Amino acid sequence: MFEKKKVGIMGTGDIARMMAKTLSGMKGVVCHAVASRTIEKAESFAGEFKIKNYYGSYEELCKDPKIELIYVATPHSAHYDNVKLALENGKNVLCEKAFTLNEQQAKELFEIAAKNNVLLTEAMWTRFLPLASKLKEVVAGNIIGDISMVTADLSFNIAWKQRIQDPALGGGALLDIGVYGLTFASLVLGDDITDIQSQAVLNDRGMDTQDIISLKYRNGQMAVVTCFATSFGPCKGIIYGANGHIEVQDINNFADITVYNNAGEKISYYKRERQITGYEYEVSAAFKALDEGWKECPEMTHAQTLKIMNIMDFVRGQTGVKFPQEVAAEEDKKEE
């Protein structure tokens, strides 16, 4: 009988809970351990999800010899330090989005992963969904003709949450929800971008609560990505073609794909497959990559992670959003 593959979860927040639920419903995979910064939180989490092992520090989790893959579910402001710790302990890592605070941190982590010969993949789960593959197939089939435009929105009334408000947590709407719209545009149009124009509304702590981003591509295509932490939006992606358009509902977990002709008639429809949470696909992809000896997942390559981080850095440069960790790093460089 084959032994189940063992995953360790770093963090005990809402995203960690989603992963624990996911792993409990998967075959051939088990959550072997969970870690928090306090033993009390780890023990409570482990009890709720029937996890055998729990640790009161991330160091202990990373030193558990039985864990084959660590899922990092901490705030993205902590991703750099947490992922680095796991990599330097020889662990393969699946790290939640946004991958890091900026592109430079991401580059450094990929270098550390390569040095330690381990897998490192961003858990941008929409890229792993079966409907993401179907969308690529539909677009490649040219059913709506030449594509000229993509719009993507993901907006929720969450500006009051600490993770959005707090600069120290890498706050703002862009890294939290805007990353989904940018990923959707990338899935459809690729990454050969020649111009970016963006605007944002900032809170009293300098974090973006509303963003509008326009992207222009070398072949003349365009995309408009919106993310508002102050209101609920359609959470929809629309692809505009010469012979019709495609609508994708819920770009953070594709609910369905509907294709329309120029007369507005529905000509094809694809519904979300039955899923545990949708996170199972990124876990399966990570273990497939490990089985194949790969150090990244083809669904979410290092280059794709770096490109999205680069775009978000550029957007923040235009809108004036800067994290205190970046300010501190700049000050350190001046002193050198």
Question: For 132-160, what is each residue's pLDDT tens digit?
Answer: 999 999 999 999 999 999 999 999 999 99
Query: What's the pLDDT at 16?
Result: 98
Q: Is it the case that residue 1 has pLDDT exceeding 60?
A: no
Question: For 62-119, what is each residue's pLDDT tens digit?
Answer: 999 999 999 999 999 999 999 999 999 999 999 999 999 999 999 999 999 999 999 9
Same domain, 139 and 266: yes
Q: Is it the case that residue 214 has pLDDT exceeding 80?
A: yes
Q: Is it the case that residue 2 has pLDDT exceeding 90?
A: no
Query: What's the pLDDT at 249?
Result: 98
Position 140 in a domain: yes
Query: What's the pLDDT at 327?
Result: 87
Give the CATH number for residue 143: 3.30.360.10
User: Which burial class, exposed, middle or buried, applies to 94 when counting CB atoms under 10 A from its CB (0-12, 13-18, 19+)?
Assistant: buried
Question: For 52-78, what is each residue's pLDDT tens digit?
Answer: 999 999 999 999 999 999 999 999 999
Mean pLDDT of the chain: 97
| pTM of the complete model | 0.96
Give me the amino acid identity at 18: M
Query: What's the pLDDT at 336?
Result: 65
Same domain, 229 and 287: no
Same domain, 191 and 210: yes
Q: What angle do CA 209, 214, 217 make, to 5 degrees?
A: 145
Instruction: Calculate what percentage of the chain has a pLDDT beyond 90.
Output: 96
Q: What's the rounded Cα separation, in Å, for the pair 274 and 261?
A: 28
Q: Is it the case that residue 330 has pLDDT exceeding 90?
A: no
Tell me how many domains the chain contains. Answer: 2
Q: Is it the case that residue 242 has pLDDT exceeding 80?
A: yes
> In which domain, by residue range, is 252 found?
127-275+309-327
Same domain, 159 and 253: yes
Mean of pLDDT values over 236-247 = 98
Query: What's the pLDDT at 335?
Result: 67
Q: How many Cβ atoms are within 10 Å of 151's Cβ, its own excluded?
A: 18
Same domain, 144 and 63: no
Q: What's the rounded Cα separation, in Å, for the pair 12 and 315?
A: 31
Same domain, 313 and 164: yes
Q: What's the rounded Cα separation, in Å, for the pair 107 and 305?
A: 9
| The 236-241 sheet, strands edge to edge | 193-202, 208-217, 222-228, 147-153, 236-241, 244-249, 256-261, 266-271
Position 336 in a domain: no
Q: What's the rounded Cα separation, in Å, for the pair 16 and 222?
A: 35
